[in-house]
Structure 1
């Protein structure tokens, strides 16, 4: 049991250390009340070695503090207010920050961030570690609570964007949109699914390239069973010629020396429209990524 020389509660009740340091789970609110009130006193900063695992800390208010080496695993921090707080080397696995107000809170030095609950929390802003340290997917997504997961990914997205971490912000935006898709129904679900497959919600230009190649190949296979007329006459079941025709039709450069007849005209017109849209989508997604 570590000593707590800076704490004004040291020695209270004959104890040689503060109750906040005692390695005991589920501490009672009655005994914690005075200890928690002491957190606002300037002579207990930084706060080091607090053991608050699975403790009810609802409504806790902490301002202008640096908390080091604390164990807050599974702590109930719903409705808490943290203002200008740094959490360094702290264990936060499964801590519940729902409905909390987190203003200028620095989580970058924390460890053990698995299962954090942030639904309805107000973050203005917070500093976060790298994504791999957050151990995503978030707890709500694992429980298939899509609206709550969407809210958390939105918080993460805005926090990373505020601090210029655009790669991580983009990933969280993609997860946010995926949570929307899983809630959607009917045409909205279909539209979001197409957006996800074709460009990863605007975050993956490589998907647009793959989609374009698949569209070109698909139409080429269709043309092998339709009527195409070349300079030497009708073209039937010639995949190479059909692929060539599909490429120039997709890229809207014209038909060249091959012309569609009958139903092939409908397919060619459709491919030209899809090609125009896909090329524009690729330009948008690529430029969006490069300019961030």
Structure 2
């Protein structure tokens, strides 16, 4: 009896396909030359998945998979379609709940109205994918998309043109994801994506340009309006920093100079520092009680802190309202 040859697809980490091979040595699903747009292709792929067939690395370029059900029912883990090629695949309305698409090529795939809840897309190529109406709540794309990582690597070795192209691609991907999240009413998720989108835009600006530095400052202070906690941390750092300056430059209270000296005891140091923190808070919030007054260099620091404090408080109100009204 003639032995049936099996698919020669094999990965370095040990995964291999045991489906019957075609003349190419690959099975129907792993052979990139096999056209997968027949009227029965959806049913065939569903049966292949349910029968335990290997889905890792399968080629589904231009495949017509509208409405396909690739949910691994009655199982806590979804099907593994990592490294699959889904370039321009039609997945309109597909059920992809909990599907593993890590390292997959989803470039320009039609994911409109698809259920991608809990789908894993780490290191997947998402450029040009259509997300309109897709259910993307709790979708996992990882901390950095692949184009973002490639851009930073290219910039590190001085390949600025390549880095620029990858940063543009990353910005486009994050923008598409942000719009999809807004469409679904997932405004917290949209806020995260807009931060990443603007960071990618900043990285395309000339390195030491004024626009890039201003953009970086906005990111540090408030995460482009999406991180009110950053404003709070900056405020606390400024208050404590200025308090340390007042501690050594001195403040006047009741006609007496209060400044750190070598002869003071630890209790006196603590009392003076707490007074400096109090004065710093009063100055930052522009309350100006008048009990403590700055002298010498403290005047310049107090003026800077008062100006920065009034601006920072206004910024926090804007950022906080922006988050709460979503």
| TMscore range, shorter length | 0.7 to 0.9
Q: Which residue of 1 aligns with 2:6?
A: none
**TM-score normalized by structure 2?**
0.69
Unmatched segments (≥5 aa) in structure 2: 1-19, 73-78, 153-165, 261-271
**TM-score normalized by structure 1?**
0.76
Q: Is the 8 A contact 2:118 2:138 kept in 1?
A: no
2-side partners of 1:43 and 1:266: how far apart? 72
Residues 85-144 of structure 1 show CA distances to partners (whole Å, capped at 9, x for unaligned) of 22245442221122333322222264x53322111223223222414x444432233333
Q: Which residue of 1 aligns with 2:145?
A: 138
1-side partners of 2:182 and 2:42: how far apart? 36
The reply to whether residue 28 of structure 1 matches residue 31 of structure 2 is yes
Q: Which of 153, 167, 171 is the equivalent residue of 1:150?
A: 171
| Matched ranges for 1:80-91 at <5 A | 80-88=89-97, 90-91=99-100
Q: Which residue of 2 aligns with 1:224?
A: 247
1-side partners of 2:118 and 2:28: how far apart? 23
Residues 22-66 of structure 1 show CA distances to partners (whole Å, capped at 9, x for unaligned) of x94873345x32xx232x459938834355543443333333433
Q: Which residue of 2 aligns with 1:60?
A: 63
The SS at the match of 2:92 is strand
| Matched ranges for 1:207-286 at <5 A | 207-226=230-249, 228-237=251-260, 238-286=272-320
After superposition, the CA RMSD in angstroms is 3.4
* Change in CA separation of 1:25 and 1:220 when aligned onto 2, cut-off 3 Å: farther
Q: Residue 221 of structure 1: CA displacement?
A: 1.9
Q: Which of 187, 190, 199 is the equivalent residue of 2:213?
A: 190
Q: Which residue of 2 aligns with 1:97?
A: 106
Q: Residue 82 of structure 1: CA displacement?
A: 3.0
The SS at the match of 2:185 is coil
More strand by share: 1
Q: Residue 210 of structure 1: CA displacement?
A: 1.7
Q: Residue 149 of structure 1: CA displacement?
A: 2.8
The reply to whether residue 49 of structure 1 matches residue 48 of structure 2 is yes
Q: Which residue of 1 aligns with 2:181?
A: 160
Q: Is the 8 A contact 1:45 1:65 kept in 2?
A: no
The SS at the match of 1:210 is helix
* Change in CA separation of 1:291 and 1:89 when aligned onto 2, cut-off 3 Å: closer
Residues 118-174 of structure 1 show CA distances to partners (whole Å, capped at 9, x for unaligned) of 11223223222414x444432233333433333323233222222222333323333
1-side partners of 2:283 and 2:220: how far apart? 22
2-side partners of 1:181 and 1:287: how far apart? 25
